[in-house]
Structure 1
């Protein structure tokens, strides 16, 4: 019984470390992305997620205008959550459109345990 418990704990640790720490060599491109663009479908934001970080420290959008947020996992397996707007992105749901109705700064957190740097994987949505 004790051996089974140790084996399960070891397996859980390997999965947690492997989620963000894969050796994906796809180019993540520039470290900065252009500001959201106003297109026919509204504002567009792409959250590029790599090992333990998003590509920007903040993303700015306009209050009252529809915004489409897309999650791009360039390395590892990540999610994104903006609790105040009930936005949850992951591998099964990579795009969401909503209209921010209040100005302010809202944390965006990685919502999938991705390894040792998971707790620091944060960015901010600023609604102006």
Structure 2
């Protein structure tokens, strides 16, 4: 009986450690980022207001690569909404600082796991949901966002 209780306690402790591995303290500071590339005239602007963050990736639909950096942290993405133009080639770069996270955008067959990148062409207009593709803990289901293709 004591062995069974010891095993049960160890299993529960291990589960608690695994679930808390994805979480850390929250940082609600405002940020603004502008980046440009020598290869293209693409500008990515980020502005955070409260809990909503919008990203506008401006490109003239000329087939240039629009690079979007997405940080996964504290069971959320730093970009809740990403805007691109139809015809843009989009490169999503995922940065996960606090455990294993992913980035799945099923409408464009994108599935990034870990600190990697993926490219796709935004060949259809609409609003498409993205989510974490790695079960990372209790807040996993809250890791969502939207890609808007105009």
Q: TM-score band (shorter)?
A: 0.7 to 0.9
SS in 2 for 1:101: coil
Q: In structure 1, list runs of 5 or more residues that go unmatched.
A: none
| TM value normalised by structure 1 | 0.77
Q: Does 1:51 align with 2:51?
A: no
RMSD: 3.0
Which of these residues, 115, 129, 139, is aligned with residue 107 of structure 1?
129
Structure having the higher Rg: 2
1:77 positional shift: 2.6
Larger relative contact order (C-alpha < 8 A, sep ≥ 6)? 1
Return the offset for 1:36. Answer: 2.3
Match for residue 21 of structure 1? 23
1:126 aligns with 2:137: no
TM-score by length of 2: 0.67
Separation in 2, partners of 1:13, 1:85: 35
Are positions 1:117 and 2:139 aligned together? yes
Gaps of 5+ in 2: 32-47
Contact in 1 for aligned 2:54/2:80 (Cα 8 Å)? no
Give the length in aligned residue pairs: 125
Change (3 A) 1:37 1:95: farther
CA distance in 2, matches of 1:74, 1:37: 27
Residue in structure 2 matching 1:80, options 79, 103, 110: 103
